[in-house]
């Protein structure tokens, strides 16, 4: 299974998503420091909310296979700049959490994550379990290891290295 890096503001649902992907009952546990699990790298939301700490996220993301930007479907504002995929050298996906909340606005959050440059968007609800299987299936997809020839060919075509 590819390792998913989780980035999003505090309470976006990173730890809950880790629990849901592991098949555990969701229970609140504040993340105090960056934690590497077998399937995710879970980060404290304060890192994404603080300019200096955000730089550390870049370093920790190097240990992952896929970078995930999380945003709750009931968020009133967007934390992510447009086109930040340009600084990420692995696939970057968007994960919309809390989609079963009463005031969820999935189309709006989808647009924020698309503008950030996410190549796939996964709407999920870690409490009800909706959408979790689709995300797990994506992470289970086997990917060919990159070799230099393929990377150079993709670069010649203007594609991402891993396309």
Ligand X SMILES: Nc1nc2c(ncn2[C@@H]2O[C@H](COP(=O)(O)OP(=O)(O)OP(=O)(O)O)[C@@H](O)[C@H]2O)c(=O)[nH]1
Q: Which is nearer to ligand X, 133 or 161 (CB)?
A: 133
Q: Which is nearer to ligand X, 38 or 147 (CB)?
A: 38
Q: What's the min distance (Å) between Cβ of 16 and ligand X?
A: 3
**Crossing angle for the helix pair 132-140 and 14-21, nearest 10 degrees?**
70
Residue 28 site contact among ligand X, Mg ion, none (CB < 5 to 8 Å, cut-off depends on kind): ligand X
Cα–Cα distance for residue pair 18/85, rounded to 1 Å? 23
What CA dihedral angle connects 50, 101, 125 and 54, to 10 degrees? Answer: 0
What CA dihedral angle connects 88, 61, 98 and 23, to 10 degrees? Answer: 130
Q: Which is nearer to ligand X, 86 or 107 (CB)?
A: 107
Cα–Cα distance for residue pair 161/149, rounded to 1 Å? 10
Which residues, numbered 14-53, are part of the site for Mg ion (CB under 5 A)?
A: 14-15, 31
Chain residues that interact with ligand X, rule: CB under 6 A: 8, 10-16, 26, 28, 30-31, 44-45, 97-98, 101, 125-127
Q: What's the min distance (Å) between Cβ of 83 and Mg ion?
A: 26
| Contact residues: Mg ion, CB under 5 A | 14-15, 31
């Amino acid at each position: 299974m590819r390792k998913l890096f989780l980035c999003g503001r505090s309470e976006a649902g990173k730890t809950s998503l880790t629990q849901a992907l592991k098949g555990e009952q969701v229970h609140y546990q504040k993340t105090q420091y960056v934690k590497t699990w077998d399937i995710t790298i879970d980060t404290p939301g304060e890192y994404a909310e603080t300019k200096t700490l955000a730089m550390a996220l870049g370093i920790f993301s190097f240990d992952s296979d896929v970078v995930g930007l999380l945003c709750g479907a009931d968020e009133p504002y967007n934390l992510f700049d447009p086109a930040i995929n340009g600084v990420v050298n692995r696939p970057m996906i968007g994960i919309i959490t809390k989609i079963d909340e009463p005031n969820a606005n999935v189309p709006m959050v989808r647009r924020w994550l698309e503008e950030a440059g996410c190549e796939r968007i996964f709407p999920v609800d870690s409490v009800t379990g909706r959408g979790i299987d689709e995300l797990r299936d994506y992470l289970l997809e086997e990917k060919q290891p990159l070799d230099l020839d393929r990377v150079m060919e993709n670069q010649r075509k203007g594609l991402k290295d891993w396309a």
